[in-house]
Structure 1
Amino acid sequence: MINEQIRDREVRLIGKDGEQLGIMSSRDAYGKAQEAGLDLVKIAPKAKPPVCKIIDYGKYKYELARKEKEAKKKQKTIDIKEVRLSPNIGANDLNTKVGAARKFISKGNKVKVTLRFRGREMAHMSNGRHILDEFAESLSDIASVEKAPKVEGRSMTMFLSEKR
C-alpha cells in the first residue's frame, strides 16, 4: 500500500535516510512524505503499529524486482531426462543408452529409465527387471537409484539421480 491507500490510525514512520521518526497518524506521515517529495510505503503491514517508510516507490519496486531476479539466477533447476529401452536390447545399444544417461546425470539432471513392453513381451515382464538392474549397476559410480523399478501399465520405470 502506498500514500492515500494507507488507512491505519497510527503508523511507525521511518524517514528517507532510515532514521526512526516515531509513531504518528497516517495523515501526518503522508504529509511528511509529500514534504520530502517522496511516497509513503507500508513495509510491514502485520507489525503493531504498521511500519511505513518514506521512499521513492518506483525505485523501491525496481530494487525488489532486482533482488527477485538475482535470487532466480542462483536457483538450480533439475530436469528429468528420459531414456527408453526395450526388453530385447543389445549390449552395444545398452552401452549407448548408458552413455547418454551418464551425460544427463553429469549435467545435474535426474534420469527416468523406461523399459517398454509390446505385444508378447508383456508375458515376460519379470525378465525385464535384470536389464534395469544392469543399467543401474553400470551407472553406480556416479548415480544412485532414487526410485526402484516399478511396473506401470505396459512399462517398467526407474529413476536415477546424482550421488551426493
Structure 2
Amino acid sequence: MKFYGGVIIKELQINEDIRAKEVRLIDAEGEQIGIVSINEALDKAREANLDLVNIAPNAKPPVCKIIDYGKYRYDAIKREKEAKKKQKVINVKELRLSPNIDTHDLEVKANQANNFLKKGDRVKVSVRFRGRELGHTSIGKDVLDSFVELTAENGIVDKKPVMEGRNMIMFLAPNSENN
C-alpha cells in the first residue's frame, strides 16, 4: 500500500513482479483469453505496449489483466479522492454544565449548542456532580430537560440522559429539516 496525496492505494504486482507460473489472462479490451504461462502473458503485454497487472493475486490461478498501469493508478487515486469529498464528517462538540447553573449561563451554553447544531455537529451535554450533589441527580436531569427546551428548534435528543460515573450525559443531534 502506498500513500498518494491523502489517498491510500493498494500496490499491485506488475510485469516481472508476478511470481506465478500460470495466470488467467484478460486482454486490454476485457476479453478473457484463458490460462496461459507467465512468459506468454508478458509477451502479449509487451506487444500491446501495456503492463501485465495481477488484479486478483489470491485466485487459483491468479488473474492478470493487460492495462496501462500508470493510467489505472491515476484513475484509482481520482476515484478515491471523489469518494472522500462526498463523505460527511460529523463532529461531536462537548458542553459541560453543573447542577446549580444560573439561567443566563444555561442560555449562553444553549446558544453555543444551537450554533454547533446549525453547522451539523452533534453535541454531547454533560452535567458534572461533585460531592453532595451526587445525592440530587434529579436536579441535573431538570437542567438537561430545560437545556433540551432551549435547543429544541435546532436539535433533537439523540441519546437520553444517562449517569456515567459522576456525570450525567446526553447527546443532541441536529434536526433533519435544518440540514
Same fold (TM over 0.5): yes
Written as runs of structure 1 = structure 2, the 5 A alignment for 1:13-162 is 13-15=26-28, 18-20=29-31, 22-25=33-36, 26-45=38-57, 50-162=62-174
Q: Does the residue aligned with 2:126 lie in a helix, a strand or coil?
A: strand
Q: Any runs of at least 4 consecutive aligned residues in structure 1 with deviations exceeding 3 A, and if so which?
A: 44-51
Q: Does the residue aligned with 1:92 lie in a helix, a strand or coil?
A: helix
* Distance in 1 (alpha carbons) for counterparts of 2:21 and 2:109: 64
Q: CA deviation at 1:119?
A: 2.3
Q: Does the residue aligned with 1:120 lie in a helix, a strand or coil?
A: helix
What is the TM-score normalised by the length of structure 2? Answer: 0.80
Opposite residue 54 of structure 1, the aligned amino acid is: I
How many matched pairs?
162
Q: Which runs of 5+ in 2 are unaligned?
A: 1-12
What is the TM-score normalised by the length of structure 1? Answer: 0.87
Opposite residue 9 of structure 1, the aligned amino acid is: E
Q: CA deviation at 1:123?
A: 2.3
Q: 1:123 to 1:19 in 2, by over 3 A?
A: closer
* Distance in 1 (alpha carbons) for counterparts of 2:155 and 2:21: 57
Opposite residue 158 of structure 2, the aligned amino acid is: E
Percent pairwise identity: 50
- After superposition, the CA RMSD in angstroms is 2.0
Q: Tell me, yes or no, if the aligned pair for 2:23 and 2:63 is still in contact at 8 Å.
A: no
Opposite residue 57 of structure 1, the aligned amino acid is: Y
Q: CA deviation at 1:78?
A: 0.5
* Distance in 2 (alpha carbons) for counterparts of 1:150 and 1:10: 59
* Distance in 1 (alpha carbons) for counterparts of 2:35 and 2:137: 75
* Distance in 2 (alpha carbons) for counterparts of 1:141 and 1:8: 67
Q: Tell me, yes or no, if the aligned pair for 1:40 and 1:52 is still in contact at 8 Å.
A: yes
Q: 1:92-132 CA deviation, whole Å, 9 max, x = no partner?
A: 11111111001111111110001111222222222110110
Q: Does the residue aligned with 1:160 lie in a helix, a strand or coil?
A: strand
Q: 1:39-71 CA deviation, whole Å, 9 max, x = no partner?
A: 101234566765432222223222211211111
Higher helix share: 1
Match of 1:12 among 25, 41, 44: 25
